[in-house]
Structure 1
Amino acid sequence: MTKGILIAGTHSGVGKTTVSMGIMAALKHRQLKVQPYKVGPDYIDPSHHTAICGRPSRNLDTYMMGTDGVGKTVARTSGDAEISVVEGVMGLFDGMDSTEIASSAHVAKVLDIPVLLVINVHGMSRSAAALVKGYSEFDPEVRIAGVILNKVGSPRHGEMIKNALPDDIPIVGMIPRRKDIEVPSRHLGLYMAHEKDYNTAEMAEFIEENVDLDAVLELSEPCSIPEIREIPDKDADVRIGVAMDAAFCFYYQDMFDAFRACGAEIEFFSPMKGELPDVDGIYFGGGYPELYAGELEVSKTTRGLKDLSADGLPIYGECGGLLYLCGTYEVEDRTYKLADVVPADTRMTNRLRGLGYTEARPLDKNFSSHNLKGHEFHYSLTDCDRDARFAYEMLRGKGIQNGFDGLVEHNTLAGYMHAHPSTFPVEKFVEKCREYKRK
Structure 2
Amino acid sequence: MFGDKLWRLSCKHSLLVGSTATVLLCATQHQESARASFASSVFNIMHAIMGSGILGLAYAMSSTGIIGFSLLLLFVAVTAAYSVHLLLVLCEQTALTTYEDLGFCAFKTTGKVMVAGAILIQNIGVYNQTRDFFFVKPFANVTPWYLNGQILLLITVIFVVLPLALLPKIEFLGYTSGLSILFMVYFTIVVVVKKWFVPCPLFNGTVNYFQNFSSECKPKLLQISSKSAYAIPTMAFSFLCHTSVLPIYCELKRPSKSRMQKAVNIGMILSFSIYMLSALFGYLTFYANVNSQLLHSYSQYLPRDPVIMSVRICILFSVLLTVPLIHFPARKSLMLLFCSRCPFSWLCHILVTLVIQTVIVLLAIYVPNIQNIFGVVGSTTSTALLFIYPGLFYLQISRESLKSSRKLKALGLIILGILIGSVSLLVIIITWLHNEN
> TM (normalized to structure 2)?
0.22
**Higher-helix-fraction structure:** 2
Higher relative contact order (CA 8 A, sep 6+): 2
> TM (normalized to structure 1)?
0.22
**Higher-strand-fraction structure:** 1
